[in-house]
Structure 1
């Protein structure tokens, strides 16, 4: 289950695209500077945060309203290379598991003036992503609620809206390991 690396929110978009394509830089100090990545189960049982973002149509969506079946929430951005790299496998997962799993993307692209929504809509159309639900969070509130400093960050919830695990960094969502991970429950 290879991790593709991650983007930190403190660096600029151009730096992210150039540096985050490989899993890790090979310099001796990169381990100290790189954000932690991998699976984290320390938040197991935590409820979905009180967070309202918007759809591409501008209508508000309360994250807690998405309970009812397992939910995979992915924080991403158009400028984040590992985020973009994993989108096709997330899209396929969303299509293959539509009856039993909801997959939601929350864009962390900034622009409260509507520019984030415009940017994400154009990106979505170019990539031809048809199964994912994408939401817009131009203020970055989701990153704050999840204490996410690295993108992508993905959080898996059971049908009752309790966190099961989270993954920091990119992932191949078409892998055999993914099926095992999605079989986990918080209870």
Structure 2
């Protein structure tokens, strides 16, 4: 077999052996890849009051974890859409955790959010990049969709229009419905 034929056959075999990813909600910037469910590793970050937080603190809440930095052009581009997505998803019990990896800390991120008029996203800090390392993130921005059981359901590497109806629907579907409260026992009235 000619050398080129061997290379093509090897490439085809390798491609067939790689795990297949389901590509879903395509936004104008990126593709949401559904690889889940898989366990979300433990990591910590800090809130606006510089208190340590963990993903476990949000048990039962759907999460859209966005890893970003003020110096990252695509990150800056998608921040307004994430802000609008937070407004749209909050009523569904879904929290956007935009974890900034800026080493300048709170002052840098706070000034950025104020300057860009980002008002709905909380101030979440991860200056050492612990979240990215724990989740095996390859670059910024990366966003991970976490269901109410704390499992990674999907991720998107790169910027996305998170506030589009298609992306919001995909996030809601992946996170799942909020837990229902038990119905009142009306037999005792």
- After TM superposition, the score normalised by the length of structure 2 is 0.73
Determine which of 23, 27, 33 is the counterpart of 1:40: 33
Which of the pair is proportionally richer in helix? 2
- Counterpart of 1:2 in structure 2 is 28
Stretch of structure 1 that moved more, 125-134 or 84-93: 125-134
- Counterpart of 1:168 in structure 2 is 157
- Counterpart of 1:54 in structure 2 is 46
- Counterpart of 1:92 in structure 2 is 84
| Greater than 6 Å deviation, 4+ residue runs | none
**Larger Rg: 1 or 2?**
2
Determine which of 92, 102, 118 is the counterpart of 2:95: 102
- 1:164 CA displacement: 1.1
Unaligned runs of 5+ in 1: 4-36
Unaligned runs of 5+ in 2: 1-26, 177-189
- 1:142 CA displacement: 1.1
- 1:186 CA displacement: 6.9
- 1:184 CA displacement: 2.6
| 1:109-166 per-position Cα deviation (integer Å, ceiling 9, x unaligned) | 12xxxx3221111111111211112311111111101111211100001111111100
- RMSD between aligned residues: 1.7
Number of residue pairs matched by the alignment: 149
Determine which of 64, 70, 90 is the counterpart of 1:78: 70
Distance 1:118 1:63 in 2: 23
